[in-house]
Amino acid sequence: MTIVTPFLLDAGPRARPARPDAAAHLTDAQIEELGRELDAVREQVVAARGAADAAYIRRVIAVQRSLELAGRATLLFSRHRPAWVAGTGMLTVAKILENMEIGHNVLHGQWDWMRDPDIHSTTWEWDFVTPAAAWQHTHNDLHHTWTNVVGKDRDVGYNIFRVDRDQPWQWWNLGNPVYNMLLAPVFEWGIAIYDLELDEVRAGRKSRGELRQGLKALGRKFLRQSAKDYVATPAAAAVTGSARQALAATLTANAARNVWAHAVIFCGHFPEGADTFTEEQIEGETRGDWYLRQMLGSANISGSRLMHLMTGNLSHQIEHHLFPDLPSNRYAEVAVRVREICARYGLPYTTGPLPKQVGSAWAKIFRLALP
C-alpha cells in the first residue's frame, strides 16, 4: 500500500477559514508557493533514489536479522546472567529496528519503488502483534490524511487520552497519566485494540462482520508472535535448562521495545508546539494547505545518527508527514531544506532532544487530565 501525499480535500477556490496563528501572516499565494517548493523537494529525492538507497535498507535488514538470530541463540544459555543480558539486549535492539526503521517504513511503501517482493508494503508482515493491513488502514489511510484534525484523526488521543483543549473533558480523563503509564510496556496491544476500531463499530460506521474479520486476523497474528517468542525460544532453551530465563527475556525485549516505540510515537504530535486543527479549517484544503498542516501538526526529535536510526527516522516526524513515502534514510538531508523553508516563510519548526519532547508530551497528558 503505497501512500503518496494525499491532497484529497482540494476543492479549488473557496472562502478560507481562519488559519492557525502560526500561519496567519501568510497569504494564499505564499501558501501555494510553499506547496510548489515542497513538491520540488519531493521530486528531487524521487529522481535521486537508487542503488545506494536499496543497499541501505538491505543492510539494515541484514543487521536486524543477525541481531535477532544472535540474541535468540545467546538466550539458549540465559540461565547464566551475562548471556541473559546480552541475549535480551540484542533481541530488544533487533525488535526496535524491525518495528521502527524497517516495518513502519516498508509498510508506508517507502521501498516499493525497488520492486522487491520481499521488501514491499503489500507483502511485509512486521514483528508487532497488530496485523500489518489493519495498521496500514488506521495509520496510512486515516492518520496521514487527517493529521491532527480533531474529530477526524483518531490518533488525537487514540480514543483514550485528552491531548487537546478542543476535546471535551470527561471525568475518566483524570486517569490519563495512569493509563499512559500502563500503556507504555504493552503498547503493541494498545495499537492492536485501537486498530480494531471498536468506536467505529459502536457508532455503526463499521460492521460487526468486519470486526469479526479483524479479530480473526489479530488472533492469527497473536498465535504467530507467541509461537516465536513464548514457545519456540523457551523450548529451545529448555535443552540447557534456560527455558524460564529465555521466556523472561523475550517478555522483557517486547516490553522494552514497546516503551521505546511509545515514547517516540508520542513525541511526534503531542509535545508543545504541535498544532491541532478543526474540521472547518480544512474545508477546501489545497496542496499548500495540506503541507502546512503536516508541518504545524508534527514535532521532531534532535539527536545523533544512531538515535535517528533507532527511531525509524520518526525523529524527523515533520519530514515524514510531508513525504511519507520517501525513503527514511533521506529524511536527514530533506530536514535541512524543510527547516530553511520554514525559516523563510516565518513558520515554526518544532524540535528538541528526546527527554524534552517526552517530558513535554507527558506534561500535556497530566495538564489536560484536568477540566
Does residue 65 fall inside a structural domain? yes
**Residue entry with cell 529448555:** 238
DSSP 129: S
What are the pLDDT tens digits along the chain (371 aa)?
A: 444 444 444 444 445 556 788 999 999 999 999 999 999 999 999 999 999 999 999 999 999 999 999 999 999 999 999 999 999 999 999 999 999 999 999 999 999 999 999 999 999 999 999 999 999 999 999 999 999 999 999 999 998 999 999 899 999 999 999 999 999 999 999 999 999 999 999 999 999 999 999 999 999 999 999 999 999 999 999 999 999 999 999 999 999 999 999 999 999 999 999 999 999 999 889 999 999 999 999 999 999 999 999 999 999 999 999 999 999 999 999 999 999 999 999 999 999 999 999 999 999 999 999 99
**Domain for residue 289, yes or no?**
yes
pTM above 0.85, yes or no: yes
Q: Residue 181 falls within a domain, yes or no? A: yes
Q: How far is CA 102 from the centre of its chain?
A: 12
Three cell numbers, residue 251:
517478555
Question: Is residue 2 in a domain?
Answer: no
Assess contact for 263 and 358: CB atoms under 8 A. yes
Residue 3 counted as domain residue: no
CA distances from 78 to 89, 90, 132, 248 (A): 12, 13, 31, 10
Q: Return the axis-axis angle of helices 354-367 and 176-183, rounded to nearest 10°.
A: 140
Give the domain extent around 358: 21-367
pLDDT at 5: 46
Q: Is residue 8 part of a domain?
A: no
pLDDT at 21: 85
Looking at residue 28, its amino acid is D
Question: What pLDDT is attached to residue 365?
Answer: 96
Is residue 219 packed enough to be buried (19+ CB in 10 Å), middle (13-18) or exposed (0-12)? exposed
In terms of Cα–Cα distance, which of 290, 336, 329, 295 is closest to 312? 329
Domain count, the chain: 1
Q: Residue 170 falls within a domain, yes or no?
A: yes
pLDDT of residue 16: 56
Is 10 a domain residue? no
Q: What is the reported pLDDT for 15?
A: 52
Residue 5 burial (CB count, 10 A): 20
